[in-house]
Structure 1
């Protein structure tokens, strides 16, 4: 089972895909709560060079509210991370598959919420 929802975009630069990703997230009810520039962090902390790599911590407040109501400790697995990374063929966008990440929690109602969020993230990734 794959743990991410992926799309390769070969006809746009990194910042353009970032902009399109943020807009797609907004259009589907998500906000970006956190952002990590992994490339800059690795350079600063380890003096290592790598291709562009950014992690966006995305959250749909309604879905988060529902999930936390069902399983209060699920916050340890939030927000839904979406990564953008530069690869030879272009920019790869990968969103966490919430269904895959929730397999560790034995709660069928939570798994239903995760399925709804996965459907939303599929639409996000498809629309970029």
Structure 2
């Protein structure tokens, strides 16, 4: 089982995909709570160069509320990360598959919520 939902967008600008990702997330009820510029962090901390790589921590408040209501410690696995990664022929977008990440938690009600979040994140990745 893959742990991410992936899409390669060819021959595009990284910042364009970033803007498209934020719009698609917003259009599907997610907000970006955190942002990590991995490329800048690696340069600053390790003096290492790498291609553009950004992690967006996305949250759908209603779904997070529902998940926390059925499993209070699930917040340790939130928000849902979406990765934008520059590759040789474009930008790869990868979103966490919440169903895969929730297999560690034995709670059938939470798995139902995770399935709804996965469906919504799949729509986001397709919309970018």
TM range (shorter): over 0.9
Match of 2:18 in 1: 18
How much does 1:11 deviate?
A: 2.9
- What TM-score results when the alignment is normalised by the length of structure 1? 0.99
- What TM-score results when the alignment is normalised by the length of structure 2? 0.99
Match of 2:116 in 1: 116
Q: Deviations over 1:96-122 (max 9, x none)?
A: 000000000000000000000000000
Match of 1:27 in 2: 27
Match of 1:2 in 2: 2
Counterpart contact for 2:53–2:83, Cα < 8 Å: yes
Find runs of 4+ consecutive structure 1 residues off by over 2 angstroms: none
Aligned residues, how many?
128
For structure 1, the residue ranges without an aligned partner over 5 or more in a row are: none
Aligned mates of 1:11, 1:29 — CA distance in 2: 28
Question: RMSD value over aligned CA atoms?
Answer: 0.4
How much does 1:18 deviate?
A: 0.2
Aligned mates of 1:89, 1:119 — CA distance in 2: 27
Match of 2:65 in 1: 65
